[in-house]
Structure 1
């Protein structure tokens, strides 16, 4: 080996040593390749020099950062893991007035309060290229599993999911709480199955089309997937005509959902005194809370429990009531540039049955929401696979540069209605904003109007503010408050949120 070649080998080796195992891998290899191309080194000599170096770098994990989130990815890109989290801290003021003595947890919801609405941590990622996973736990109080699922996601048109996940019903529910415009979802969301244990088939056969079909159980306990006598199922399909036509500035989305669910609920004995009867054993079939997490049990339907035949036999813990719930939902989005109009409608039927009583009724829920990004962001840029994903400001908040992030103005009108009430037996009842107190002729309902703003400083920090006015269809007497009268006719809520996520 001549002097020049020896010098080249020495220089190349020194560069590789100084490069270390990570930072200068590409540039060091480029130097050796250049020496080979100029004939200073042979290909065999070049491979010999880089052999040890490339063998190490080929298995070195890569750390990637995007929008404040970090991902550790294998060198071959087949495996990855990311840490995820969110924190939503709310402040809420309610001016509703309760006429009556005493209070319970329903009327306590009128209180002004701070609330740690959500605090979650988790991991998500990919392994073996074709499998995706996510596991998230809720942190306040006793930690619980929020979602935990595994996807086989090799094909866009056909994928499988198993675990605990959001069931395919409704646009709002399937849009992350990090990405909804208002602080809280609408009345429609209070009638959906939400996060359950199950199995799902899903996919996007082509751009602009999505579908999902699942079977699930309503309880995380040992009652079983068919604890009410048959398995539960949900389905959703969407089409975005704008995406099909290649229009990247607009959204023209239509979706249809269906639900058929049968499940068990355990009656329990109330510790509170009913204004019309003694303490009884009951199970709640369904209920509504006013928009913005205001008044609890603005409506509640309950089925009676099984009477005890022995004073020392706990019937409530041994017998369950069965709830049958069917529903369908319609949804639509029209968005052009920084403007959007979104709406959903859902109709549901509830039937509760125990050994001692029966109750059934129908519910209808709906909302229409308008939004405008004052700073010019386009809604279509955050629409993906039939839902809204995260919004990224055109210019992230930076006082030094005079940037304020993205600012959105919002307005929503929504409501719920309950009718066709039918009851028989012992212990069943309906409560809340009623036309007639707990009778087969009862109807219930409320309408809420909310104005608000969303200030997205960057992909990780968001501030929200909402003012909601709710008008009850019928004057409301707080539930289980001794001496309360039908004096609550409306509710006004002022609320703010600080939101952090990654």
Structure 2
């Protein structure tokens, strides 16, 4: 995160959405053609009972063509498989800022947050993935990778993907606890182009990599970073639902003379919020950015407690003293009438080792089967401090209370209330040293497959 993160609100055009649907339809047509040719194929639909074997035996037991909440998956005789999926997230809400002159909290009451198309291909130890967000004109490419898994318990990934830093960042936004990540996410480097190698044991993981800039904005435009993360679970139940998680991550990015000057900012934890309450603006003469992150989580049955603390150091040339910024969060959640989120030790590819996965909606809990879905309640406190020496970016404290409702395996509704207090407000707001308070309600309707 070497430059300010700006969120786009541009609408998704009808032709682009049509193209996405056409891609899905084309894959379905291929499956239908194979059926017509007389091959013993059947399509497994989302409502049918699922079997949960693992490994090669799992794929051998499944029909060659499946259609479920994970999208359309085609399995071939050579052992390879191809999947196409996506996600669509629409946000809506309202807010109030208690500061004269700020203007409306939201520029618009509703907008598309993400509109992704995703493709994955697996072939004899290799993994290929490509994700594209039609709603993000600045950085539309998310993951674009090739990974090799031919060595036991080792994954080598090359391409554009997440640097191994921050539990909150590494958990997919498709299944995140709240609509947005915490204030501390301003310090997480997120996705960049590079190479990483990861490995794991029964109760530990380690991944390290070297990264340049983001593939969408220029691989050579952000210096070079080395990022490493290790995790350890002193307690992990056999079903991977009860766990104590500890993690430590570090990142050091050297900025070249031609690198754009960094900046740090964070909005109240809502996509629709008009502008940041805290903002360092551009930090001149920066030569390097160092980050250290500490993370811990405990989950017992449906209850989970999770927290992080991140310290960021920005070195400067011309004998200027370094800058230090910090942030963190603590959150608690409970899943009603259901066990908690399963813990995943190793990913399919990339750096997402040692993370929590999504909520499972059982067949009898589905609204379409007469159930009421699954509800998840969450509370979070987060804070960020962007003041160091002459940089007066501000300090913000956010309190969030949220409810997630999963009526079906691939549908989610999120409702969050956020109370923000910035003290002082960002210099860019021209409010001097006065405080800014905001009350925000944000909702999200989400479809993912």
User: Which TM-score band (shorter chain)?
Assistant: 0.7 to 0.9
Per-residue Cα deviation, 1:222-255 (whole angstroms, up to 9, x for no partner): 9765864xx3111111122233x64644111111
Structure 2 CA distance, aligned partners of 1:338 and 1:383?
19
Structure 2 CA distance, aligned partners of 1:417 and 1:93?
26
User: Among residues 146, 155, 158, which one is paired with 1:150 in the alignment?
Assistant: 146
Between 162-171 and 83-92, report the one with greater CA deviation.
Answer: 83-92
User: Among residues 384, 405, 419, which one is paired with 1:469 in the alignment?
Assistant: 419
Contact 2:203 2:345 in 1 (8 A): no
Match of 1:296 in 2: 275
Per-residue Cα deviation, 1:353-377 (whole angstroms, up to 9, x for no partner): 5x8x967421111111101111223
Change (3 A) 1:24 1:87: closer
Q: Provide the TM-score with structure 1 as the length reference.
A: 0.70
Q: Provide the TM-score with structure 2 as the length reference.
A: 0.77
1:233 to 2:226 alignment: yes
Contact 1:96 1:488 in 2 (8 A): no
Per-residue Cα deviation, 1:105-136 (whole angstroms, up to 9, x for no partner): xx666445212111110201202x10001101
1:338 to 2:302 alignment: yes
Classify the secondary structure of the residue corresponding to 2:97.
Answer: coil
Contact 1:412 1:450 in 2 (8 A): yes
Structure 2 CA distance, aligned partners of 1:110 and 1:352?
36
Structure 1 CA distance, aligned partners of 2:41 and 2:410?
31
1:378 to 2:340 alignment: yes
Contact 1:242 1:248 in 2 (8 A): no
Match of 2:38 in 1: 21
C-alpha displacement at 1:351, in angstroms?
3.0
Pairing of 1:195-234 with structure 2 (within 5 A)? 195-204=191-200, 206-220=201-215, 225=220, 228=223, 231-234=224-227
Classify the secondary structure of the residue corresponding to 1:241.
Answer: strand
Structure 2 CA distance, aligned partners of 1:413 and 1:180?
15
C-alpha displacement at 1:21, in angstroms?
3.0
C-alpha displacement at 1:298, in angstroms?
2.5
Instruction: Return the index of the structure with the highest Cα Rg.
Output: 1
User: Among residues 71, 74, 78, which one is paired with 2:73 in the alignment?
Assistant: 71
User: Among residues 281, 290, 298, which one is paired with 1:326 in the alignment?
Assistant: 290
User: Among residues 329, 346, 356, which one is paired with 1:367 in the alignment?
Assistant: 329
Point out where structure 1 has 5 or more consecutive residues left out of the alignment: 1-18, 26-57, 269-282, 306-320, 423-429, 433-443
Match of 1:172 in 2: 168
Match of 1:90 in 2: 91
Structure 2 CA distance, aligned partners of 1:359 and 1:218?
26
Pairing of 1:39-438 with structure 2 (within 5 A)? 62-77=64-79, 79-100=80-101, 110-127=106-123, 129-140=124-135, 142=137, 144-204=140-200, 206-220=201-215, 225=220, 228=223, 231-243=224-236, 246=238, 248-263=240-255, 283-293=261-271, 294=273, 296-303=275-282, 322-353=286-317, 360-380=322-342, 385-395=353-363, 398-399=366-367, 401-422=369-390, 430-432=391-393
Classify the secondary structure of the residue corresponding to 2:371.
Answer: coil
Pairing of 1:452-467 with structure 2 (within 5 A)? 452-467=402-417
Classify the secondary structure of the residue corresponding to 1:346.
Answer: strand
Classify the secondary structure of the residue corresponding to 1:189.
Answer: helix
**CA-based RMSD:** 3.1
Contact 1:134 1:150 in 2 (8 A): yes
Structure 1 CA distance, aligned partners of 2:83 and 2:409?
16
Classify the secondary structure of the residue corresponding to 2:306.
Answer: strand
Point out where structure 2 has 5 or more consecutive residues left out of the alignment: 1-35, 43-59, 347-352
> How many residue pairs get matched?
387
Structure 2 CA distance, aligned partners of 1:223 and 1:498?
33
Between 334-343 and 257-266, report the one with greater CA deviation.
Answer: 257-266
Contact 1:468 1:492 in 2 (8 A): yes
Structure 2 CA distance, aligned partners of 1:184 and 1:462?
14
Between 342-351 and 359-368, report the one with greater CA deviation.
Answer: 359-368
Change (3 A) 1:382 1:497: farther
